[in-house]
Amino acid sequence: MLMGGYHIAVVGATGAAGTELLRVLERRSFPVASLRPIGSARSVGKCVQFCGESIPVEKLDAGSFDKIDIAFFSAGGDVSRNYVPIACQADAIAIDKSSAFRMDPHVPLVIPEINAEDMRLHRGVIANPNCTTTVMLMALYPLHKIFRVHRVFAATYQAVSGSGTRGVEELTRQTKSWTEDEEGCSRRPAGDALSTATHHSHASHSEADKVFPHPVAFNLLPHVDSFLDSGYTKEEVKMQDETRKIMHLPELRVSATCVRVPVYRAHSVAVSAEFERAVSVEQAREVLAKAPGLQLVDEPHSNRYPMPLSVAGKDNCQVGRLRLDCALENGLSFWVSGDQLLKGAALNAVQIAELL
């Protein structure tokens, strides 16, 4: 560890987001004086690797934040609701990945490239936005600054790692089950073979083990979170509410359909946005090419456009498929992809800490 720097705690250090956070802290040479990895009771005894050291995981309790400067929370809303106030009482600044405090009017919801100035208003807690909202806004906000967005229609294509390591394992298990059933595929219609393989995969695991309500391998699930009385899911409502807060546009209309897809890593969003001012593809490309944290990849005739495989493991989001929207006045359609474990979670949190 460095002799100088900050005393850091990472809650959920052994999970997918927590593991990625440790990598980002190390890769970006964040000034860490000491690291306290924290987990649930079942994680105690494990070790995490950081800067060449093997550091044992500590159990989360009321004393976890003593002498801590910055506490990263990557363990879900219930843990954050219970322990973020304890961290603040210990004079740590909490950077929370969960949805627990995002819509609290006293908690800044921050994407550093967009609304870093909101951090000045923090009272000990800063929230990380929903990963899909972040990916979309990395492309939408630069356009808004020039053309003033009026309303947004979005369809998401969200990777299974958004559900954590168990989501990845479920897709792997179902895909492997289909592969092993390949011989039967030659004797049955393809759809029947896929259904049988995924059924076998689910049958070997209890209902409690299942992450998704239906097979996700070779399938699409228009259900990324629980349904509300309105017919929208919580994830879809987050995209509207968080976009409004981050962009300081309380009346902005955002209609989203969120879909889980059989991709391991990186979310994508198809966006159609209507602006107050006339927009051209050429102007939009010029704006997006200069936007921080964003790479313009828009050469469709050469088969160059953003894809999950292109952005997985990369800090920058990518935007492409720019075209005038034929159904909206002053409308522009585009496609944006980003690694939800990086810019959607770990990287964004570390960038917040760097600004602090």
Q: Which residues are identified as catalytic?
A: 131, 267
- CA–CA separation, 38 vs 65, rounded Å? 10
Regarding beta strands 93-96 and 149-158, do their DSSP bridges make them parallel or antiparallel, or are they unpaired?
A: unpaired
Count Cα neighbours of 280 within 13 Å in the Cβ-side half-sphere: 3
- CA–CA separation, 350 vs 287, rounded Å? 26
Reading the block at residue 62, the tokens are: 């009321």
**One-letter amino acid for residue 61 of the chain:** D
Strand partners, 254: 152
Give 5's contacts (C-beta < 8 A, 6+ positions apart). 30, 31, 32, 33
Query: DSSP character for 213?
Result: S
Taking a C-beta distance cutoff of 8 angstroms, is the pair 333, 270 a contact?
Answer: yes
Give 160's contacts (C-beta < 8 A, 6+ positions apart). 167, 168, 170, 171, 211, 212, 216, 260, 261, 262, 263, 264
